[in-house]
């Protein structure tokens, strides 16, 4: 079920049977010469919706902008400061909790969100308990990064060897190609395999990674890979959701 395609009565009916909800969270940021600006949000959304279908869970609207400060030297990137994203997540979860949702599973599409999302969970618990004391103790948030599960990593190794990369990765671009075949981009990638490594601020990032990619060769991306990657991610996250709901 998608929250946005439901009526309030349907949500009320759902809450009579389940307190679980899935929230996709991504980013709006450059993904190299062949990657869509919306890559991270598209991946999180497509996977979250399929998990929702697999486990009959409510899927809330994606948080489409994340913490992308380091990509700000490239046009099109939109970011929340970490402190803003903490507030967005806190307000979002407290809204859901107000209606009775208690287990909130975030399906994340962007590595740059991880630290901030985890910080936001503690802000949220503190705010919930400040309002409702012990009555808020059952509120639980979890973060799953779709690309980090073992089945997805294994498939990436099989498909791309050591050329998947860590940004504008062949795998995430494959997922968007499957989801939006009419928006597949082609461009000369020079060098074909982008350099790897770390970075500091946005200008330093662009100096080290001039076309925006890190360690990746997205010329290897293909829509049919995307379909397989989605299936692997969905199977893993669906099992995690069931455990999350069943856990004491």
Give me the residues that bind Ni ion (CB under 5 A), please. Answer: 39-40, 172
Minimum gap (Å) between residue 195 Cβ and Ni ion? 17
Cβ proximity to Ni ion: between 70 and 236 the closer is 70
Cβ proximity to Ni ion: between 172 and 217 the closer is 172
Minimum gap (Å) between residue 15 Cβ and Ni ion? 33
* Closest residue to Ni ion, based on beta-carbon distance: 40
Cβ proximity to Ni ion: between 45 and 172 the closer is 172
Cβ proximity to Ni ion: between 15 and 193 the closer is 193
Minimum gap (Å) between residue 211 Cβ and Ni ion? 14
Burial of 98 (0-12, 13-18, 19+ CB in 10 A): exposed
Distance from chain centroid for Cα 145: 6
Cβ proximity to Ni ion: between 103 and 213 the closer is 213
- Within a 13 Å sphere around the CA of 179, how many CA atoms are in the beta-carbon half? 24
Q: How far is Cα 248 from Cα 95, in angstroms, rounded to an integer?
A: 23
Identify the three-state secondary structure at position 210. coil
Distance from chain centroid for Cα 7: 25
Minimum gap (Å) between residue 25 Cβ and Ni ion? 12
Separation in Å, CA 8 to CA 2, 5, 188: 12, 10, 49
The dihedral formed by the CA atoms of 178, 79, 209 and 226, expressed in degrees to the nearest 10: -10
Length of the chain: 248
Parallel, antiparallel or unpaired: strands 103-108 and 58-59:
unpaired
The DSSP bridge partners found for residue 58 are 21
Cβ proximity to Ni ion: between 126 and 148 the closer is 148
Minimum gap (Å) between residue 18 Cβ and Ni ion? 30
Q: How far is Cα 191 from Cα 127, in angstroms, rounded to an integer?
A: 48
Minimum gap (Å) between residue 111 Cβ and Ni ion? 7
């Amino acid at each position: 079920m998608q929250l946005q395609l439901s009526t309030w009565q349907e949500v009320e009916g759902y809450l009579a049977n389940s307190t679980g909800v899935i929230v996709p969270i991504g980013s709006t940021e450059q993904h190299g010469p062949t990657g869509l600006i919306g890559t991270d949000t598209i991946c999180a959304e497509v996977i979250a919706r399929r998990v929702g279908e697999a486990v009959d869970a409510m899927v809330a609207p994606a948080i489409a902008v994340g913490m992308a400060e380091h990509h700000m030297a490239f046009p099109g990137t939109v970011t929340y400061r970490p402190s803003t994203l903490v507030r967005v997540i806190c307000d979002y979860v407290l809204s859901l909790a107000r209606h009775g949702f208690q287990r909130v599973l975030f399906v994340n599409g962007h590595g740059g969100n991880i630290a901030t999302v985890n910080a936001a969970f503690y802000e949220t618990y503190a705010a919930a308990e400040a309002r409702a004391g012990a009555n808020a103790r059952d509120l639980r948030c979890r973060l799953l990064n779709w690309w980090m599960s073992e089945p997805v990593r294994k498939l990436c190794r099989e498909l791309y060897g050591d050329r998947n990369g860590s940004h504008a990765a062949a795998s995430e671009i494959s997922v968007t190609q499957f989801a939006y075949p009419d928006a597949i981009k082609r461009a000369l990638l020079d060098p074909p395999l982008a350099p790897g490594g770390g970075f500091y601020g946005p200008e330093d990032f662009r100096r080290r990674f001039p076309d925006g990619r890190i360690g990746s060769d997205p010329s290897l991306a293909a829509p049919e890979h995307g379909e397989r990657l989605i299936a692997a991610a969905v199977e893993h996250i669906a099992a995690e959701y069931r455990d999350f709901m069943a856990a004491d």
